[in-house]
Amino acid sequence: METFESLVRAEFSPENTFLNTASNSLLPARTVTALDGAARMRAKGLPLGPLYEDVEAVRASFARLTGVPVERVATGGSVAEYGGLIAASLPAGAEVLTAEADFASLVNPFHMRGDLKVRAVPLERLAESVRPETALVAFSAAQSADGRVADLAGIREAARAHGARTYVDASQAVGWLPLGAGAYDYVAVVGYKWLLGPHGAVFFTVPEDLGGLTPLLAGWVAGEVPFDSCYGPVAELAHSARRFDIAPSLFGYAGLRASLALVEEIGVDTIHAHDLALADRFRAGVAALGHEPLPSPGSAIVSVPGLDHLQPRLAEAGIQVSDRAGNLRASFHLYNTEADVDRLLEALSG
């Protein structure tokens, strides 16, 4: 039986110290192989049916990882396009409650409407700030800039008490943080961060009643029988969340199928424990060096104020981290080790 260590060792062989999954992940070896195979299919002029099968396998895998029926999962290309669908569904004057300085792809579609009341409050006050006139609470499960994890249960219950819908961008969470997508009206997740996939794929979950959304971006893939929906208006939209599908970047799904298989093999609970142990090791170590990280308990993302200027020098030394919002941001995932953490701490101490 393969262990966590043997599975990871077989899939990853980075040439530097990569602590930047919050930007994008390393690709597993199996994913690179799958991408190569998909490209060769095109090069050889082979039928692409197996690549469309990959899309459905990926949809099912994501459904299992997030605990929702596969019929509630749509696939697309960006978080912003699904935020746009939600924004378009709201009546003029509706209140959208957001967290201050949340990620632009989440909040910007609501501002672009121009006739919605978008209200931003500190993340910690989100639950207490829901009120009867709130139509939607839109927030990230984990903040990109500093890793803070939202009070998911508190926000969910407050929204339910006031009859508001919930929209969660879980791009910085799913893959390391156990999260049941079925507890929220809408959840969007990119595939290229903690899910270890290539760029080009986004998951979007909707309620059983499809959330009152109009599939404004629907093309032929949104039909109940896609290949019978290629010409003229789509006569019959998919009866499931597939009606919100966007034409897939097929190569990406071929790779993502392999990536999600690895995440499922290891298990999110195991990944969660591993990632948090490394993040806590870094928190303690950087504090011992006299630098106070921003509070983000229970997060795999750690940001340290005032050290963002060190990012270029660290990159030159082969340590990949990010500079975000004036902070040095390190993020820890299954392929990282204690030695990676210690190398970063040693570089910072120098």
Neighbours of 17 (CB within 10 A): 22
Cβ atoms of 179 and 173 closer than 8 Å: yes
E strands, the chain, where? 17-18, 73-76, 95-99, 117-121, 134-140, 165-169, 186-190, 202-205, 301-305, 319-320, 322-324, 327-331
* Cα–Cα distance measured from residue 59 to residue 142, given in angstroms and rounded to the nearest whole number: 22
Given a cut of 90, is residue 350 above it in pLDDT? no
CA 296 to chain centre: 18
Give the global pTM. Answer: 0.97
Given a cut of 80, is residue 1 above it in pLDDT? no
Structure tokens at 139: 């927030």
Q: Quick one: pLDDT at residue 158?
A: 98
* Cα–Cα distance measured from residue 19 to residue 281, given in angstroms and rounded to the nearest whole number: 13
Structural domains of the chain, with CATH? 4-27+267-349 (3.90.1150.10), 42-265 (3.40.640.10)
* Cα–Cα distance measured from residue 72 to residue 52, given in angstroms and rounded to the nearest whole number: 18
Structure tokens at 9: 């060792």
Closest to 83 measured CA to CA, from 102, 62, 70: 102
Kind plus residue range of the DSSP H or E element containing 277: helix 268-288
Cβ atoms of 119 and 96 closer than 8 Å: yes
Mean pLDDT of the residues in the chain: 97
CA dist 94 → 88, 135, 137, 161, 321 (Å): 11, 6, 11, 17, 39
* Cα–Cα distance measured from residue 13 to residue 154, given in angstroms and rounded to the nearest whole number: 40
Structure tokens at 51: 């690549």
The pLDDT tens digits for 114-170 are 999 999 999 999 999 999 999 999 999 999 999 999 999 999 999 999 999 999 999
The pLDDT tens digits for 239-293 are 999 999 999 999 999 999 999 999 999 999 999 999 999 999 999 999 999 999 9
Q: Quick one: pLDDT at residue 212?
A: 95
Instruction: Using the structure block, give the residue that is written with the tokens 């809408």.
Output: 186
Query: Cα(first)–Cα(last) distance of the chain, in Å?
Result: 42
